[in-house]
Amino acid sequence: MDPAPAPVLVFGYGNPSRGDDALGPALIQCLEDLQAGGPAATRNRLRPVELLTDFQLQPEHALDLAGRAAVFLVDADASLDAPYRLEPILPAQSPSYTTHEMSPGALLWVYDHIGLGDPPPSFLLRIRGTHFALGDPLSASARRNLDLAVAFLVSRLTADHPVTGP
């Protein structure tokens, strides 16, 4: 029998070969490093969290949301006017749900549409990126924004903070 999923899923997506598009997977790597060897005081206060990464959202990722108390999707965004922004996600049918690009809202719509019921409280953490060229590493500004976003998310994932509250 498979063990129950961790109550919280953090799913970073993006292409690590395209500069700042790697911000989602880079955040997951930061959390993995923290879980493996970060300060004991922080590790001991973190909620049980499952970490997942992929190049893009796919319809089958709806199954990864099952049984969760909360879901955080993490992606790079060139349009932000702040280093990062956390926003709730609502289910939204989209014509892109079976093509190359699937929106976070479409993922929640698929979750409901395949009979899994209401999706868990879900949030999109967008991190500002500026350089998305093939073969580029993370830019210095994206690295700073990543550090700020990691600190923010870690504060949300500690046991003394309501994961779905403000």
Q: What is the pLDDT of residues 9-55, one digit of tens each?
A: 999 999 999 999 999 999 999 999 988 876 655 556 677 899 999 99
Amino acid at 43: R
- Sort strands 122-128 and 8-13 into parallel, antiparallel or unpaired: unpaired
pLDDT for 166: 46
Output the CA torsion 98→102→104→110 (10° steps).
Answer: 0
Distance between CA atoms of 98 and 31, rounded to whole angstroms?
30
pLDDT per residue as tens digits for the range 52-107: 999 999 999 999 999 999 999 999 999 999 999 999 999 887 665 445 578 999 99
Domain positions in the chain: 8-156
Q: How far is CA 42 from the centre of its chain?
A: 20
Is the CATH code 1.10.287.3510 the one for domain 8-156? no
E-assigned strand segments in the chain: 8-13, 49-54, 70-77, 84-88, 122-128
In percent, the amount of the chain with pLDDT more than 90 equals: 67
